[in-house]
Amino acid sequence: MSTDDRWKQRLSWLFPQTPAPAARRVVRSPALGPCAPAPLQASRRGVLRGMLAGTAVTVSLPWLELFAGRTARAESTYPLRFGTWMWGNGVRPEQWRPVGEGSGAAWSLSEELAPLAAVKAKLAVISGMAVKVPNYIPHWSGAGGLLTGLDAVGDDEDWTVAAPTIDQVVAAEIGGSTIFRSIEAGIDSNEIFSFTGPNARNPGETDPFTLYERIFGATFREPGAGGLVDPRLGFRRSALDFVMDDVRALQTQLGPTDRQRLEAHLEGVRTLEQRLARLQEDPPDLESCERPDEPAVEYPDVEGRLQITERAEAMHDVLAMALACDQTRVFAFQLSRPVANLMFPGAEDGHHNLTHDEPTPQPGVHNITVQIMRELAYFLEKLDSIPEGEGTLLDHCAILAASEHGEARTHAITDMPVVIAGGANGRLATDLHYRSYTEENVGKAVLSLLRATGVLATSWGDGDTYTADGLAALEV
């Protein structure tokens, strides 16, 4: 089977075969103003219309093109890990943008990026690129355009993505052999920007202790400990078999939309069944793997504010060790969701409110961005402290750290803040600042990232977001 076919099969439930009789056409006005007439959107590429979970979407085929006849690629001894690390509400671009351009000594960190100093040599910072979608839905267009390559679908209060997010695209490729296909986690909300398809969000874990229990609880085995011996694993699998039979039988009685929704459910049951089977096998054997310390059971709010740093650090400790123990190779972490109105320490208002209400140059927003970069730095330093062979775990990662906006005050999706951390087993350039002066498509960087993880993509996006070229500066 060719890679294309494998992909189509894997994601087949995203693409219903029956065209919808009454697809809801989504037509939006351009960003000119609320009273301007709305032009019709037309794609230059072939499209397939369908009803997906009640919402009409137009999925371009292929929104992701892959090389046919894929052959296995020589791997480093250490598996490559991929993750997204998202924060809400953008940055203050002038204060976030690095100083100077190029490699090594040619560039230095900005005020807002300063917390990342210890890992500067393992970063590629990209500034000036843009998400090439029409930006109809503040926050969600930017997030959708960046992470799926297609604009979000719907409106402010009722939207979804048009295609899977990049973490799930990569997980479909490299997530299959670990206990967890991917891990989604966040601090402020379980609404992680991770989707396996339209209306199919992957909710995240927001409680550090629960995340710990999930990965390092009773079923975790350290390297060399052998497979889990528990007769209940078999009983649980029998129950799941019963459930799968029920789902399949029910599917035959439903219309195409609901059949697709149940297909997603069925896929989840299959994944769980496989995980239970895998628990009975020998665990992965990586030198730096050890069960991390238990996080606190609770992180109660202090004076009405979330303990952001405490929670983030606890999550990052667990997540780093989950990668070191090869429990998963893919993660989607979200420090704060788009539009998050988190009360950061010292801030006079919620983050989102400040981005809109604080007079420029918005010192309050600036301080929050610095704090967010500090949390990112904690995680990256943690990954860099875990040895793997000649290098560190961070060297075997490709992490996309980004936000849904450049400047959130104006809901801009130009001058997007992008940090790519880890060298992806030597496949990505590091200690680099690339600045675009022409508002290039940020999809180019995403495509390079995809390729670095071993997803043999020839293109990414569609229409204005389409690119067949990666970002040359990023590729080794």
CA gap 449, 460 in Å, rounded: 11
Decide whether 412 or 428 has the Cβ nearer to other proteins. Answer: 412
What is the 8-class DSSP label of residue 1? -
User: Residue 217 or 387: which CB sits closer to other proteins?
Assistant: 217
Question: Within its chain, how far is the Cα of 117 from the centroid?
Answer: 24
386: contact with other proteins by CB under 8 A? no
Measured from the CB atom, the residue of 34 and 46 that comes closer to other proteins is 34
Q: Please report whether residue 349 would count as binding other proteins according to CB under 8 A.
A: yes
In the shown chain, the binding pattern of residues 323 to 342 toward other proteins, with x for contact by CB under 8 A and - for none, equals ------------------x-
| Three-class DSSP category at 84 | strand
Answer yes or no whether residue 103 interacts with other proteins by CB under 8 A.
no
What is the smallest separation between the CB atom of 110 and other proteins, expressed in angstroms? Answer: 23
Q: Report the site for other proteins in 156-215 (rule: CB under 8 A).
A: 156-158, 181, 184, 190-191, 196, 199-205, 207, 210
- Kind of pairing between the strands at 64-66 and 457-460: antiparallel
Say how many Å lie between the first and final Cα of the chain, rounded: 30
Question: Could you say whether residue 151 binds other proteins (CB under 8 A)?
Answer: no
Nearest-angstrom CA–CA distance, 121 and 105 = 10
Give 303's DSSP letter: T
Q: Find the part of the chain contacting other proteins (CB under 8 A) among 122-130, 220-228, 260-268, 424-432.
A: 260-268
Query: One-letter amino acid identity for 288?
Result: S
According to DSSP, the residues that pair with 330 across neighbouring strands are 82
Backbone φ and ψ for 400, nearest 5 degrees, come out as: -100, 110
* Rounded distance between C-alpha atoms, residue 366 and residue 382, angstroms: 25
Regarding 410 and contact with other proteins (CB under 8 A), the answer is yes
Binding status of residue 136 toward other proteins by CB under 8 A? yes
Task: Write the interaction track for other proteins spanning residues 63-82; mark x where CB under 8 A is met and - where it is not.
Answer: --------------------
In the window 28-57, what residues touch other proteins (CB under 8 A)? 28-29, 31-38, 51, 53-55
Q: Does 260 bind other proteins (CB under 8 A)?
A: yes
Residues 286-305 that bind other proteins (CB under 8 A): 301, 303-305
Which of 255, 298, 437, 438: binder of other proteins (CB under 8 A)? 255
CB 403 to other proteins: min, Å? 15
H or E element, residue 202: none
Q: List the one residue from 66, 113, 143, 306 that touches other proteins (CB under 8 A).
A: 306
* CB within 8 Å of 97: residues ≥ 6 apart: 110, 127, 128, 415, 435
Among 353, 391, 439, 464, binds other proteins (CB under 8 A): 353
Q: How far is CA 422 from CA 29, 103, 198, 412, in A?
A: 40, 15, 30, 27
At 234, list the tokens.
Answer: 């078999």
Q: Smallest gap, in angstroms, from Cβ of residue 204 to other proteins?
A: 8
Q: Select from 390, 297, 320, 308 the least CA-distant residue to 347.
A: 308
Site residues (CB under 8 A) for other proteins, limited to 213-232: 231
Work out which of 155, 222, 281, 287 binds other proteins, going by CB under 8 A: 155
